[in-house]
Amino acid sequence: MSVITEEEKTNHGGVVEEKPKRWRLNSPLSQVTLMGFVCFCCPGMFNALSGMGGGGQVDPTAANNANTAVYTAFTVFGVLGGAFYNVLGPRLTLAAGCSTYVLYAGSFLYYNHHHHQAFAIVAGALLGCGAGLLWAGEGAVMTSYPPPHRKGTYIALFWSIFNLGGVIGGFVPFILNYRRSSAASVNDATYIAFMCFMFAGVLLSFGILPANSVVRDDGSRCSAVKYSRASTEFAAVLRLFLDKKMLLIVPAAWASNFFYSYQFNNVNGLLFNLRTRGFNNVFYWGAQMAGSFAIGYIMDFSFKSRRARGFAGISLVAVIGTVIWAGGLANQHGYSFDNLPVKKLDFKDSGKGFAGPFMLYMSYGLLDAMYQSMVYWLIGALANDSMTLSRYSGFYKGVQSAGAAVAWQIDTRKVPLMSQLVINWSLTTVSYPLLIILVYVFVKDEDDAGDVSGNKV
C-alpha cells in the first residue's frame, strides 16, 4: 500500500484525493514520449542511413531501387495502416512494423559483401509494409492522445525525439568512418549499429497502450476505441478518397517526402565526402528538432483562435520555404550531373567552401520538420478520436509514400538536378493555398467545434 504525503493530497469535506502522478505510463506525455523513442530507433535510424546518400554505398542505384520498393509498398500499407491499427491495436501493429526496419538494415550489410540488389529490394518492400503499420499507429497516438489545445506541443516533442534518432544516427557513420576520409562505402559496424538500435525499437513498441487506457491529467480518457472489422475499415479507407478534407491535403502529402531523394543523394551525396555526410546529418536532423519546436509553438500559442494559429503556421512555413528553396536554386547553378565537383567537400579541409552548402543542407532539415509538423497539426485539428485520425494519418502517409516512390525513380533515371529542384519547390508551393482553404473551411475554433476531450474517469 503506497504512502500519500501531505503534499500529494487535498481534503474536500473529509475526502482525500490523490494528485495525479507527474510521470505515469498511461499519461499522454509518457505515451507520446515513448512513441518518439520507438521512432527514434526505427525510422530515425532509417533516415540517418538514407541521409548518407545511396544508403552509404558508392553507387546509389541499389539504395534508390530499394527505396522505390519501400515507398511503393508504403503507398498501399500507408493507406491501409489505419485499418490494421484499428483491428490489431497499437502493440501488435507497431511491433510488426518495427521488425521490418531491422531486416532492411541487414540487407545493406549483406550488400556490402555480395553486391546483389535482390535482397535489398525485397527487404525494402517488406519495410514499406511495416512502415505503413508503424506510421499509422504513430499518427493515431500523436494526434489523438494529447489534449486538444496542446497538440502542436506534443507533436513538437515527438518530432524532436524522433529526429534525435537521425542526429545520433548521423554520429554513428561519422565516428565509425572518421579515419576513412577517402572511403566510398560505410563499414560493416555502421550497419550492425543501426540494426541494434532498430531492434530496441521493436521492444519499446510493446509499451504503447491503447487509447482507452490513456488518462489525461484532468482525468479524461482519450477516445475509447472499439476495434472494428477489417471489412468496415476497408470501406472507411475507400471513402477517404472522396473526402474533401483529404483531397486538400493530397498535394502537401505528395510533396512532404518527395524532396528526400534530391537532398540526400544530390546535395549531401554529390557535394560531400563520406565522413562529412555523417557530420552533416547530425545537423540536418538537429535542425529538425529546432524546427518542430518552433512551429509547434506557433501552432499552439501564437493566437487564441485555433484557425488563426493555423493560418499563421502555414504562412510562416511558406515564407521560410520560399527563402530556403531560393537558396537551393542559387547553389544548384554550381553543378550538374554533367559537371560534378572535382573534389568533394570535407568539413575539416574545405574551408569556407564548405559553409554555404552545409548551411543549405541544414536548412532543408529545418524546413522538413516545420512542414510536416504543420501538416500533422492540421490533421489533428480535423478530429479528436484515434480511429478517425489513424485513418487520416494512414492516408497522409500513403500518398506521401507514393510521391517518394516516384521521386527515387526520378533520381535513378538521372533527371537533371535543376529540374528536380524546381519540381520540389513547385510541389510545396502549390500545397500552401490548399492548406489555407482546409483551415478556412474545415478547422473550427475549440469553442465552435464543441471539442470533446473524452470520458471522465
The CATH fold assigned to 243-446 is Growth Hormone; Chain: A; (1.20.1250)
More confident residue, 156 or 451: 156
What is each CA distance from 145 to 20, 138, 231, 301, 383, in whole angstroms? 17, 10, 26, 19, 12
Task: Kindly tell me if the per-residue pLDDT of 3 is higher than 50.
Answer: no
Task: Kindly tell me if the per-residue pLDDT of 111 is higher than 70.
Answer: yes
Domains 23-211+222-227 and 243-446 alike in fold? yes
Q: What is the mean pLDDT of residues 35-39?
A: 95
68-94: b (≥16 Cβ within 10 Å) or e: bbbbbbbbebbbbbbbbbbebbbebbb
Q: With cut-offs at 50, 70 and 90, classify the pLDDT of residue 20.
A: low
pLDDT of residue 182: 58
The CATH fold assigned to 23-211+222-227 is Growth Hormone; Chain: A; (1.20.1250)
| Span of 73-87, 246-260, 361-375 with lowest mean pLDDT | 73-87
More confident residue, 151 or 319: 319
What residue ranges do the domains of the chain occupy? 23-211+222-227, 243-446
Q: What is the per-residue pLDDT across 169-220, written as a single tens digit (0 to 9) for each? A: 888 878 877 776 655 567 788 889 999 999 999 999 999 998 888 888 777 7
Q: What is the mean pLDDT of residues 215-238?
A: 71
Q: What is the per-residue pLDDT across 246-259, written as a single tens digit (0 to 9) for each? A: 999 999 999 999 99
